[in-house]
Structure 1
Amino acid sequence: MKNHTRKIDWPLIIIPILGVFSLSFLFDRSPKQSHRILSAIRGGLDQHFTFAYILIAIFFLCSSFYFAFSRYGKVKLGADNDQPEYSNLRWGMMVFTSTMSADIIFYSLSEWTMYAQEPFIKAKSDVMEWSLTYSLFHWGPIVWSFYIVLAVAFGYMLYVTKNKRQKFSEACRPLLGRRIDGWVGKIIDLVAIFALIAATATTFSMSMPLLATTVGNLIGVTNVKTLSLLLMVVVVSIYLIASVLGMKVMSRLSTICYTFFIGLMVYVLLFSGEFSFIIDSGVQATGNLLQNFVGMATTTRSQGFTQKWTIYYWSYWIVWCVATPFFIGSISKGRTIKDVVLRGFAWGLGGTYLSFIVLSNFGISRQINHLVNALADLQNGATYSQVILKIMETLPQYRIALVLLAVAMIGLYSTVFDSITMVISKYSYHHLAINEEPSRILRGFWAVVFIVLPLSLLINDSTMYNIQSVAIIAAFPTMIVMVLIVISFLHNLVRGE
């Protein structure tokens, strides 16, 4: 036990604990003051650094194509005779379920209502079409390029250069050298851990009320807040059990989770009575995105829409980049860079676009056919979860759809948090060989830490603005490190020729 504790990098555990409990205390005791602080910091970033987020997004998208289609695309993540550990199907399902948490279902069902209320979108010729178009943009190639580029960088670090430390900062070693062994490396790893804490807080706080409302409808419980807290415990318990049983269980859990996710899509497509509308509108929105992609990616003057939504979504994905790409890289041994990039885009965009095209268009069809008036309900004080439930209740035998939705959300929560507790536990060691697994006790510890801040946000009914602000603020230092990792990766590739 003493030998094991000596391996742990204690500052990377103690400092985040103090930070999490301090933030939770601030949100709990001084909600108005915490809102003012978050607003001031976010306002400064929006005013002075919007261009930085946009340039980073363009840089990563271009980098993904360069690594795939340049001579480096043929580089294998491993030795020449290494073969992929997972089939293409299982690898793809693990990529999607380890990166897409339950919030994809929440946003697929509600995001169009958020955009339809924005002045920037209201000024468009077709409000509903542009609402879906922006969903496809915000969850599209740019944000997936964040994950994919970093995944190949981490995979190269793990299986080609075979660095002895499995840390976020280690990917910067080719550029920063021995500085990684000192305070510079500590700062980078602390940035990563705090970013991941912000990511989990945002995910749980946004989508957990929908899961609680759904389960409450099925079992006849109306106290959403209490049910949300209980469901957090259930989710944590599931991914703790999965983490103890190992990667084989993780792989099977991802398959089960993906099956229920697809089941929900199929049920809505077949039984909503809107099959043609869903497909037609999906094609129309995709075409609209292709025609306007460059303008959408570089728009800064948009009545605040870019700052409120585009920067938020890119920030949201950026804070997840400290863990999920590491996991993708760790399961990509034996694959070429080109294979990881192209298959990553195929599985990522395929799953997210399927979700938004089916579920968003289902909700839009109910709005334009006057079966529900989601926009009016929201203006009258209804929550997004309540509106989503009203939309789901328009389905025949809607409880079947609710069961599929609830199980898919619990599964997506579990697979994502199983992967990130594995990664963040690896970051917590001074040294950890590739074939070594982190302590199960340490993984359990991080599982508990990750729910402290979202519990505080849920208990205090934090606004969407506060929840978004947490992600945007944490993303700013993280994206700087992400650029350093890409430059270091390119340096390694050039040196390895």
Structure 2
Amino acid sequence: MGLPFRSTLHPRVFWGSTFIVLIFLLIGIIFPKDAALIFEQLQDWVIKSFGWFYILAVALFFFAVVYLALSRYGNLKLGPDDSEPDYPYLTWMAMLFAAGMGIGLMFFAVAEPLQHFSAPPSGLASTTTSAHQAQIITFFHWGVHAWAVYAVVGLSLAYFCFRYNLPLTIRSGLYPLFGKRIEGWIGDSVDIFAVCGTLFGIATSMGLGVLQINAGLEYLFGWPQETWLQITLIIGVTALATLSVISGLDVGIRRLSELNLLVAVCLMLFVLTVGPTSFLMNAFVQNIGGYLDNFFARSFSTQAFREQTWMKAWTLFYWAWWIAWSPFVGMFIARISRGRTVREFVLGVLLVPTVFTFFWMTVFGNTAIFLDMGVAAGQLAQDAANNASVALFEFFEYLPWPGVTSALAVLLVTIFFITSADSGSLVIDTLAAGGVEDAPVWQRIYWCTLEGVAAALLLLAGGLTALQTVTLVSALPFAVIVFLLILGLFKGMKADMSRMRRQSPMSGPAPGSEVSWRHRLSTILHTPNRRDARRFMGATVIPALQAVADELGKRNLNVSLETSDQDTAQLTIQADNQRNFVYGVELRARRVASFTAAAARNEQAHPQEWQIRTVFADGSRGYDLMGLSSSQVINDILNHFERYQALVTSEATALYAQSPDPT
């Protein structure tokens, strides 16, 4: 008998998001001649009606995450209070650095500064003033505003997944606002918009990538820049991404990505070395100064008193693209950030990729402008204006070994293309499966294929305009969701800070369960082994938990007690529209300090003591229960349950704040 067809998909999210994606794609299929006009009109309507909203939203996202980092909330951990980071600091920063690389940097590094230089939003074109302004605008588009959007989504995912033990989905960030209602249509809608936004964001990147691959192939081999060839390239690269999904080459893809990053950095250093090195270093410093000087004005600029054509083509497209991409990048940076403080997370995410991006844009962009004002005599800017996808390859013509650098650029974009499609399908599948990360391969293949189909059909239906339109439209509802994620973060963090203020330091049991000095002395002189801990668990702790569970059950509460071979036990009280109350205990070994009396009597090189430590779902720091009486354990449980009741509802919290501290 064969294995049954396995599925982990969330039906409403899976089919709901598929339906919305198909609506956009059917426009291109059913109305092929009118599709470009339809998409252009839809884009104009979104810009005129909601352009201000995109500008205001991204600015507020930035200020919100900076406040979280610099305020008292910055000390909270992404995980339990005593959790440690999964990765060393330098490794974590390197992974954030890698997250900043992608097709966009390859596509726009030369094209965007040149286009702002030759066609600035204000002032004279092709002057030293427009050259400086071009880099300020480019920095603005690729700077901290983009990473602030990623930081909000990533912080929400990490905080509520690692600290509240909720699924790794966008809906989990709304738990403080809606409670268990996120398991209904509210949560389904949120995840549907997240899936659609991510899919169209990835499709846009794939569309830009294939345009640049086609331009590189024309330069290297004379292949025509035709839509049919671009569609063929999408099919080929999507097939390679699908093969990586089927074969499970996670290690290979990861190593390929690391190699890709190394080659990209080498390419940047090559341009820095053979280009005007001294000028570039001076320009880098001045660009940062200009960026900071114009930061607030540009953050809120909507060009309300002039035609918004430039805003539509640049800033608003970027802001929508970053919002659409935020679940993708946010999930990556959340996964690597467990154990970091909120302050470390925000400052790391905002600064590490941004500094690298600024240097990358300076090296390529300022070198291109330098060449255009010199030996190229305006030709580079004209090529970028005519076709942005060829700008990088025309740029390499003015540097040594253009054939080699162009081939490397095509290879880099192709690998970015493959890895984005592969990892993007994993992120979308996780969202569409309710946070399940080990979904069957066929589901990832489905989303990988749909990404390729979306990119191909949108190129057919209107090229870059169609890609920009679906990005703008799909990002609109998700921008509202990001605002809700911020409110959820503030509410969740405020509740955790309130709980921490009302609790005494958790270096030992809660008030009411203190141990006598004789027991403390006994603990110092005796090192419990695993047998001692298991015996105490079975004789004292589990009976105490069972007694509380039985009494709560008599009072018609939905309570459960789960145990595992006297190694772990967890008391759970199910709550409607709120997070459950959890009081857990587990056996845990701890190395004894070498200077203690217990270690002095122990001949082992690294003596250990076994503890029975408490575990809480809200991130509270655990402590040892060894040596307490049954009544003291019960008293400790009731202390936590009392605090829980006071914090889960706003009415109880208000009353609790007005009453004397019960501790």
TM over 0.5: yes
Aligned to 1:491: 491
The 3 A distance-change label for structure 1 pair 150 and 430 is closer
Q: 1:311 aligns with which of 306, 313, 316?
A: 316
Aligned to 2:404: 400
Work out the CA distance in 1 between the residues paired with 2:223 and 2:332.
37
If asked which structure has higher relative contact order (CA below 8 Å, sep 6+), I would say 1
Aligned to 1:388: 392
Aligned to 1:253: 256
Cα deviation for residue 298 of structure 1 reads 1.4
Indicate if the aligned counterparts of 2:83 and 2:339 stay in contact, CA closer than 8 A.
Answer: yes
Deviates more, 1:87-96 or 1:283-292: 87-96
Aligned to 1:283: 285
Aligned to 2:187: 185
Indicate if the aligned counterparts of 1:155 and 1:332 stay in contact, CA closer than 8 A.
Answer: yes
Deviates more, 1:43-52 or 1:116-125: 116-125
The 3 A distance-change label for structure 1 pair 55 and 158 is same
Is it true that 1:470 corresponds to 2:470 in the alignment?
yes
Aligned to 1:131: 134
Indicate if the aligned counterparts of 1:121 and 1:130 stay in contact, CA closer than 8 A.
Answer: no
Alignment of 1:193-212 (within 5 A): 193-212=195-214
The 3 A distance-change label for structure 1 pair 249 and 319 is same
Note the alpha carbon deviations across 1:294-315, whole angstroms, 9 max, x for none.
1111122253233432111111
Deviates more, 1:165-174 or 1:131-140: 165-174
Work out the CA distance in 2 between the residues paired with 1:361 and 1:178.
52
Work out the CA distance in 2 between the residues paired with 1:156 and 1:206.
33
Structure 1, unaligned stretches of length 5 or more?
none
Work out the CA distance in 2 between the residues paired with 1:225 and 1:188.
35
The 3 A distance-change label for structure 1 pair 437 and 93 is farther
Cα deviation for residue 219 of structure 1 reads 4.7
Note the alpha carbon deviations across 1:433-456, whole angstroms, 9 max, x for none.
xxx522222112111111111111
Amino acid of the residue matched to residue 425 of structure 1? Answer: D
Work out the CA distance in 1 between the residues paired with 2:250 and 2:75.
27
Work out the CA distance in 1 between the residues paired with 2:254 and 2:369.
35
Amino acid of the residue matched to residue 403 of structure 2? Answer: R
Indicate if the aligned counterparts of 1:202 and 1:468 stay in contact, CA closer than 8 A.
Answer: yes
Aligned to 1:334: 339
The 3 A distance-change label for structure 1 pair 128 and 431 is closer
Aligned to 1:292: 294
Cα deviation for residue 216 of structure 1 reads 4.4
Amino acid of the residue matched to residue 59 of structure 1? Answer: L
Alignment of 1:19-98 (within 5 A): 19-98=20-99
Is it true that 1:413 corresponds to 2:417 in the alignment?
yes
Aligned to 1:153: 156
The 3 A distance-change label for structure 1 pair 411 and 463 is closer
Deviates more, 1:412-421 or 1:263-272: 412-421
Note the alpha carbon deviations across 1:146-165, whole angstroms, 9 max, x for none.
111221211111111011x3
The 3 A distance-change label for structure 1 pair 471 and 11 is same
Indicate if the aligned counterparts of 1:105 and 1:355 stay in contact, CA closer than 8 A.
Answer: no
Is it true that 1:374 corresponds to 2:375 in the alignment?
no
Moved over 4 A (4+): 223-227, 237-244, 246-251
SS for the counterpart of 2:392 is helix
Deviates more, 1:473-482 or 1:43-52: 43-52
Identity %: 23
Work out the CA distance in 2 between the residues paired with 1:337 and 1:54.
25
Note the alpha carbon deviations across 1:188-222, whole angstroms, 9 max, x for none.
11111111122122112223211222244345544
The 3 A distance-change label for structure 1 pair 477 and 366 is same
Is it true that 1:321 corresponds to 2:322 in the alignment?
no
Amino acid of the residue matched to residue 139 of structure 2? Answer: L
Work out the CA distance in 1 between the residues paired with 2:441 and 2:418.
16
Work out the CA distance in 2 between the residues paired with 1:168 and 1:8.
15
SS for the counterpart of 2:271 is helix
Cα deviation for residue 227 of structure 1 reads 4.8
Work out the CA distance in 2 between the residues paired with 1:237 and 1:99.
25
The 3 A distance-change label for structure 1 pair 119 and 279 is closer
Note the alpha carbon deviations across 1:326-365, whole angstroms, 9 max, x for none.
2210121122222221222232102211221111112112
Indicate if the aligned counterparts of 2:117 and 2:369 stay in contact, CA closer than 8 A.
Answer: no
Work out the CA distance in 2 between the residues paired with 1:38 and 1:22.
13
Work out the CA distance in 1 between the residues paired with 2:83 and 2:108.
39
Work out the CA distance in 1 between the residues paired with 2:355 and 2:210.
24
Work out the CA distance in 2 between the residues paired with 1:167 and 1:427.
6
Deviates more, 1:352-361 or 1:223-232: 223-232
Note the alpha carbon deviations across 1:155-181, whole angstroms, 9 max, x for none.
111111011x33222221211223322
The 3 A distance-change label for structure 1 pair 350 and 249 is farther
The 3 A distance-change label for structure 1 pair 236 and 214 is same
Indicate if the aligned counterparts of 2:195 and 2:428 stay in contact, CA closer than 8 A.
Answer: yes
Work out the CA distance in 2 between the residues paired with 1:123 and 1:387.
22
Higher helix share: 1
Indicate if the aligned counterparts of 2:158 and 2:338 stay in contact, CA closer than 8 A.
Answer: yes
Work out the CA distance in 2 between the residues paired with 1:412 and 1:101.
6
Indicate if the aligned counterparts of 1:150 and 1:325 stay in contact, CA closer than 8 A.
Answer: yes
Aligned to 2:15: 14
Indicate if the aligned counterparts of 1:267 and 1:401 stay in contact, CA closer than 8 A.
Answer: no
Work out the CA distance in 1 between the residues paired with 2:238 and 2:96.
20
Work out the CA distance in 2 between the residues paired with 1:146 and 1:155.
14
Is it true that 1:356 corresponds to 2:344 in the alignment?
no
Aligned to 1:440: 441
Alignment of 1:95-244 (within 5 A): 95-98=96-99, 100-118=101-119, 120-123=121-124, 126-163=129-166, 165-219=167-221, 221-222=223-224, 225-240=227-242, 243=245
The 3 A distance-change label for structure 1 pair 303 and 265 is same
Larger of the two Rg values belongs to structure: 2
The 3 A distance-change label for structure 1 pair 282 and 99 is closer
Structure 2, unaligned stretches of length 5 or more?
498-663
Cα deviation for residue 496 of structure 1 reads 1.7
Higher strand share: 2
Work out the CA distance in 1 between the residues paired with 2:258 and 2:242.
18
Indicate if the aligned counterparts of 2:209 and 2:414 stay in contact, CA closer than 8 A.
Answer: no
Note the alpha carbon deviations across 1:24-45, whole angstroms, 9 max, x for none.
3322442453333333333233
Amino acid of the residue matched to residue 33 of structure 1? Answer: D
The 3 A distance-change label for structure 1 pair 248 and 378 is closer
Work out the CA distance in 2 between the residues paired with 1:22 and 1:356.
37
Q: State the TM-score, normalizing by the size of structure 1.
A: 0.90
SS for the counterpart of 1:114 is helix
Amino acid of the residue matched to residue 478 of structure 1? Answer: F
SS for the counterpart of 2:327 is coil
Work out the CA distance in 1 between the residues paired with 2:69 and 2:403.
44
Work out the CA distance in 2 between the residues paired with 1:25 and 1:249.
36
Work out the CA distance in 1 between the residues paired with 2:266 and 2:290.
28
Work out the CA distance in 1 between the residues paired with 2:467 and 2:5.
40
Indicate if the aligned counterparts of 2:202 and 2:420 stay in contact, CA closer than 8 A.
Answer: no
Aligned to 1:482: 482
The 3 A distance-change label for structure 1 pair 246 and 93 is farther
Note the alpha carbon deviations across 1:254-300, whole angstroms, 9 max, x for none.
3212101101101111123x222322223222211111111111122
Q: State the TM-score, normalizing by the size of structure 2.
A: 0.68
